[in-house]
Amino acid sequence: MHSLQDEKYMARTLELAARGAKTVRPNPLVGAVLVRDGMILGEGWHEYAGGPHAEVNAVADAKRRGFGDLSRSRLYVTLEPCCHRGRTPPCTDLVLQEKISAVVAGVLDPDPRVSGRGLEILARAGVDATAGVLESECSAINSIFFSWKKNNRPWTLLKTAVSLDGKTATAGRESKWITADETRADARRRRGEFAAILCGVGTVLADDPLLTPEISLSPGDSRPELPYSRIIVDSGYRTPPSSRVFQEAERYPVLIAGIGDAPRGLKHAGASFIPCEEKNGKVSLPDLFRKLSAMNIDRLLVEGGPTLAAAACGERLVDRVRIYAAPILLGGQSANGMFPVPLAGSIKDALRLRNMSVERLGPDLLIEGDLSYPETKE
């Protein structure tokens, strides 16, 4: 079984892993330490997506320090070594080639190409391969990666701005602006934390938004590997080619998720397309989200309108909600609420915010929480 020594070395892999925080997306943070007879031979971490894995860097570090022979050493690694050829060769091959005698992984890799098979291959080849040291810490540092890989869809946050009585517009459809200037600036700044933003064509038609993020880079930051994409759910290709969203399309690609062939005008405007399956005459959101996942969109921001928000929650595709609430009351039966269709038939079946936080933001409130769905009855 695992010892305190194991925990000590695993804690070190976590420290190393964190060094990749600004550069590995959408890959996981991974750290690795090679140990023999109580001595650290080499250390490494996954530095950037597409680059060498943590194990490779730890082995290279050991060699640099003069340890050519790594037999009888133990490899500690936050995440199970991969056994697939991605952009780099499988780490399991490296372990066998270097005759490393034991591998201790923090947690199994949720990537379906691995998920237990890495350790299995090593064990079959005679390596003492185990997992589960500081497991919750090792999965917590990669919570978005775990969610993305396990659900085969991006980890998704729904952002909405409402009046205190839950309206997103007046009965006369006026929606600009419910929250204060500084609140909207906060929302734009936070867009930069995501790989893409998703919005419905209704919002494009009503508000003609830019949907660009404000990405502020501090010195030493590298740009995320993927450009920030703006995705419009537009079953019938109603997005006007003259929309403001096509500004800066080279820097922030515009993708239209629709059904069937896309009109030329939109292509000329600079859009790319994600042809999707149809569900009740509309883009199937589960299908779209699977496709976004395959495009390496690991974290997605959904920003309205209410129809899209309700559909995404209804399909259980939303993991967290961020509600900006202004201290105003709009009232009116016909004024759009946050969700224009029911999400629950009874209070006990309501969608619930867990780990809720509430913050004052100038005159407004910022309420956030992880979304939990009622259990489905079979």
Q: Segment contacting Zn ion (CB under 5 A): 6-14, 20-28, 51-59, 297-305?
A: 51-59
Q: What is the nearest approach in angstroms of ligand AOF to the Cβ of residue 42? A: 14
End-to-end alpha carbon distance in the chain: 39
**Residue 331 interaction partner, one of Zn ion, ligand AOF, none, beta carbon < 5-8 Å per kind:** none
| 127 contact, one of Zn ion, ligand AOF, none, CB 5-8 Å limit per kind | none
* CA pair distance 186, 179, nearest whole angstrom: 11
**Cβ 50 to Zn ion, closest distance in Å?**
12
**129 annotated to bind ligand:** no
50 counts as binding ligand AOF under rule CB under 6 A? yes
Helix (H) or strand (E) holding 197: strand 196-200
Residue 272 DSSP code: E
CB within 8 Å of 90: residues ≥ 6 apart: 81, 82, 83, 84, 118
Which one of the spans 45-53, 177-185, 199-207, 326-334 is the region binding Zn ion (CB under 5 A)? 45-53
Indicate which single residue of 81, 106, 258, 337 sits in contact with ligand AOF (rule: CB under 6 A).
81
Annotated binding-site residue? 148: no
Handedness of CA 156, 290, 191, 46 (dihedral sign): positive
Is the separation of the CB atoms in 237 and 262 below 8 Å? yes
Pairing of strands 282-283, 278-279: antiparallel
Q: Please state the closest distance from residue 52 (CB atom) to ligand AOF, in A.
A: 8
Q: How far is the CB of 41 from Zn ion (least distance, A)?
A: 19
Q: Give which of 356, 332, 342, 335 is closest to 310, Cα–Cα.
A: 342
Shortest Cβ distance from residue 29 to ligand AOF (Å)?
8
Q: Using alpha carbons, select from 70, 73, 72, 89 the residue that is nearest to residue 81.
A: 89
310 among the known binding-site residues?
yes
Q: Is 55 a catalytic residue?
A: yes
Cβ neighbourhood burial of 67 (10 Å; 0-12, 13-18, 19+): middle
Of 92 and 179, CB closest to ligand AOF: 92
Find the binder of ligand AOF among 53, 74, 153, 299 (CB under 6 A). Answer: 53
46 binds ligand AOF per the rule CB under 6 A: yes
Judge contact between 320 and 352, C-beta under 8 A.
no
The residue among 55 and 303 lying less far from ligand AOF, judged by its C-beta, is 55
3-state class (DSSP) for residue 133: coil
With contacts defined by CB under 6 A, name the span among 48-56, 246-254, 305-313, 363-371 that binds ligand AOF: 48-56
Q: Which two tokens stand for residue 283?
A: 């883009």
Q: Of the two residues 92 and 239, which places its CB atom closer to ligand AOF in the complex?
A: 92
Planar angle of CA 299, 301, 306, nearest 5 degrees: 145
Phi and psi at 254, nearest 5°, equal -105, 120
Q: Compare residues 292 and 323 and give the one whose CB is closer to ligand AOF.
A: 292
- Which of 17, 35, 75, 91 binds Zn ion (CB under 5 A)? It is 91
The CA distance from 15 to 78, in Å, is 10
Single out the residue of 70, 82, 204, 283 in contact with Zn ion (rule: CB under 5 A): 82
- Out of 49, 70, 321, 323, point to the residue binding ligand AOF (CB under 6 A): 49
Binding of residue 53 to Zn ion (CB under 5 A): yes
Contacts 24+ apart (CB under 8 A), 271-280: 271/239, 271/246, 274/231, 278/235
Select the span of 25-33, 156-164, 249-257, 366-374 touching ligand AOF (CB under 6 A).
Answer: 25-33
The CA angle 85-89-91, to the nearest 5 degrees, is: 105
Asked if residue 86 binds ligand AOF (CB under 6 A), the reply is yes
Q: Which listed residue (43, 55, 80, 98) is catalytic?
A: 55
Question: Can you name the residues that pair with 200 across neighbouring β-strands?
Answer: 233
**Residues lying near Zn ion in the complex (CB under 5 A):** 53, 82, 91
Which are the catalytic amino acids?
55
Binding site for ligand AOF (CB under 6 A): 27-28, 30, 46, 49-50, 53-55, 79, 81-82, 86-88, 91, 109, 111, 114
